[in-house]
């Protein structure tokens, strides 16, 4: 080819937006509404502290594997950092940064005195024995020990971790400091100082908010139809609670596929099947369905309760649910948000919809600090009251300023964090 010949056109790949891009774009929109300058924007979009650690594991067969672990503290202006710990092979530092930022807004929105944090280890927990997961958890905990503590940063369960993981973290931390410290984690077993209602708190909160959203749109909960993506800690109980409330949950999915029954799923049978097989696929009380097709079912309510980024520019126009209640963190991209808004679909954002988990984590922390435990009814009553109070506040704020629920929730939260930051001032 001579210099005068045209060079062949190179395809320009469209970069795929990451959860961190989405989180930063949501923050930028809120900053626009609030009229803050670029200095405050940089401060709020950057984590205060992050730690990356190597997590070596001695396998049961004597060999060694190595994983990477992260802990990110996004903001500490309103109190100690608070956020879940995720075990998933897809965990990246950027994902953990995004999840930590959403935790900051969630804690501020629901008005609990915490900043936001998140942790993760790049491991698929399904591939390892309980003994191996215990060793991974204890090693990860001892690596991040310098930056966690009941007054510094308090982990909780997220994808791939549960109350047993929290018990191992509590024990490792306590052994290291020399005395028992229940307040180092929330989402612990009740026998170790966990709170009644914590295990199902996120799902209860999602259900309260979903029912409020149905009422808001004039749809009766009795006979309304729903689909739930993700059948783990959040999705499973949300599907059951929605069914208890009279909603017809016609489809659920997990990472392996989905199942559909137009008359509504029988969760007593389906849960027993999943407990035995580890997946929804193959359940004989429903038809098989493609996992992605679940998102496009003609239902009143869609609850994404699995991973980030599942509702995006490529599928949003085909999503016909009238209401989307985000059980997962970050399931909707900003481009999908715009499409849903143009189509008149109501999106209830994660920082409001799934805040029940961190709210009852806060109750657990308060109970632990006072060494005085509340009963299940007290926890449920306070959860409902606080969730519906936050819902009302966001709905009114959105209506008064002509904002989407996501924009209203983010603006409210960012304003609270910025105010705390400005009142404290910048050190030195």
User: Looking at the annotation, which residues are catalytic?
Assistant: 118
C-beta of residue 162 within 8 angstroms of C-beta of residue 189: no
Q: Which of residues 247-266 bind ligand NAD (CB under 6 A)?
A: 253-255
| Binding segment toward ligand NAD, per CB under 6 A, in 11-19, 33-41, 139-147, 326-334 | 326-334
C-beta of residue 322 within 8 angstroms of C-beta of residue 337: no
- The order of strands in the sheet holding 257-260 is 287-289, 257-260, 248-254, 225-229, 301-304, 323-325, 346-348
Q: How far is the CB of 53 from ligand NAD (least distance, A)?
A: 21
Q: Which of residues 295-314 bind ligand NAD (CB under 6 A)?
A: 305-307
Tokens of 188: 């612990």
Q: How far is the CB of 249 from ligand NAD (least distance, A)?
A: 15
Output the CA angle 236-103-130, nearest 5 degrees.
Answer: 50
Q: Which of residues 384-403 bind ligand NAD (CB under 6 A)?
A: none
Which of 83, 197, 232, 309 contacts ligand NAD by CB under 6 A?
A: 232
> Could you say whether residue 116 binds ligand NAD (CB under 6 A)?
no
CA 317 to chain centre: 24
Nearer to ligand NAD, 102 or 340 (CB): 102
Query: x/- contact string, 278-297, with ligand NAD (CB under 6 A)?
Result: -------------x------
Q: How far is the CB of 265 from ligand NAD (least distance, A)?
A: 14
Q: How far is the CB of 159 from ligand NAD (least distance, A)?
A: 4
Which of 19, 47, 79, 327 contacts ligand NAD by CB under 6 A?
A: 327
C-beta of residue 81 within 8 angstroms of C-beta of residue 150: no
Between CA 265 and CA 281 the distance in angstroms is 13
The pair phi, psi for residue 325, each rounded to 5°, is: -115, 115
Nearer to ligand NAD, 329 or 332 (CB): 329
Quickly list H helices, 217-333.
Answer: 233-244, 267-277, 291-294
Instruction: Report how far apart, in Å, the C-alpha atoms of 150 and of each of 146, 172, 181 are.
Output: 12, 14, 8
Instruction: Report how far apart, in Å, the C-alpha atoms of 201 and of each of 184, 186, 197, 327, 360 are.
Output: 19, 12, 6, 11, 6
Instruction: Report how far apart, in Å, the C-alpha atoms of 191 and of each of 249, 288, 327, 360, 380 are.
Output: 33, 39, 27, 16, 19
Query: x/- contact string, 338-377, with ligand NAD (CB under 6 A)?
Result: ----------------x--x--------------------
Query: x/- contact string, 157-196, with ligand NAD (CB under 6 A)?
Result: xxxx------------------------------------
113, 331, 242, 212: CA torsion to nearest 10: 60
> Could you say whether residue 197 binds ligand NAD (CB under 6 A)?
no
> Could you say whether residue 234 binds ligand NAD (CB under 6 A)?
yes
How many residues in the shown chain lie near ligand NAD by CB under 6 A?
Answer: 24
Can you give the binding site for ligand NAD, defined by CB under 6 A?
157-160, 202, 229-235, 253-255, 291, 305-307, 327-329, 354, 357
């Amino acid at each position: 080819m001579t210099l005068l010949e045209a060079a062949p056109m190179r395809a320009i790949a469209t970069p795929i937006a990451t959860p961190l891009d989405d989180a930063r774009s949501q923050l930028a929109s809120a900053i626009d509404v609030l009229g803050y300058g670029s200095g405050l924007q940089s401060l709020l979009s950057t984590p205060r502290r992050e730690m990356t650690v190597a997590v070596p594991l001695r396998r049961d067969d004597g060999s060694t594997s190595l994983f990477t672990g992260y802990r990110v503290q996004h903001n500490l202006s309103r109190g100690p950092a608070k956020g879940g710990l995720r075990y998933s092979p897809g965990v990246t530092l950027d994902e953990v940064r995004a999840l930590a930022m959403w935790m900051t807004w969630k804690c501020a929105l629901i008005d609990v005195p915490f900043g936001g944090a998140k942790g993760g280890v790049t491991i698929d927990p399904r591939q390892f024995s309980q003994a191996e997961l215990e060793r991974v958890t204890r090693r990860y905990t001892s690596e991040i020990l310098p930056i966690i503590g009941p007054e510094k940063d308090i982990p909780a369960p997220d994808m791939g971790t549960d109350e047993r993981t929290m018990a191992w973290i509590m024990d490792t931390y306590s052994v290291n400091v020399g005395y028992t410290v229940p307040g180092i984690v929330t989402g612990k077993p009740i026998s170790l100082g966990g709170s009644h209602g914590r295990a199902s708190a996120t799902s209860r909160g999602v259900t309260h908010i979903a029912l409020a959203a149905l009422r808001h749109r004039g749809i009766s909960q009795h006979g309304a139809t729903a689909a739930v993506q993700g059948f783990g800690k959040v999705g499973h109980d949300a599907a059951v609670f929605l069914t208890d409330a009279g909603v017809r949950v016609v489809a659920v999915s997990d990472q392996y596929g989905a199942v559909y029954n137009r008359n509504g799923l029988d969760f007593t049978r389906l849960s027993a099947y999943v407990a035995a097989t580890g997946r929804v696929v193959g359940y004989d009380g429903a038809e098989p369905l493609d996992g992605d097709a679940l998102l496009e079912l003609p239902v009143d309510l869609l609850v994404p309760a699995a991973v980030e980024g599942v509702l995006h520019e490529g599928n949003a126009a085909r999503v016909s649910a009238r209401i989307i209640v985000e059980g997962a963190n970050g399931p909707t991209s900003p481009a999908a948000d715009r499409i849903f808004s143009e189509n008149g679909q109501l999106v209830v954002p994660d920082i409001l919809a799934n805040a029940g988990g961190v709210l009852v984590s806060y109750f657990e922390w308060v109970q632990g600090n006072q060494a005085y435990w509340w009963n299940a009814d007290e926890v449920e009553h306070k959860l409902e009251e606080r969730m519906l109070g936050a819902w009302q506040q966001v709905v009114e704020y959105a209506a008064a300023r002509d904002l989407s629920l996501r924009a209203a929730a983010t603006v409210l939260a960012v304003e609270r964090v910025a105010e705390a930051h400005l009142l404290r001032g910048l050190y030195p």
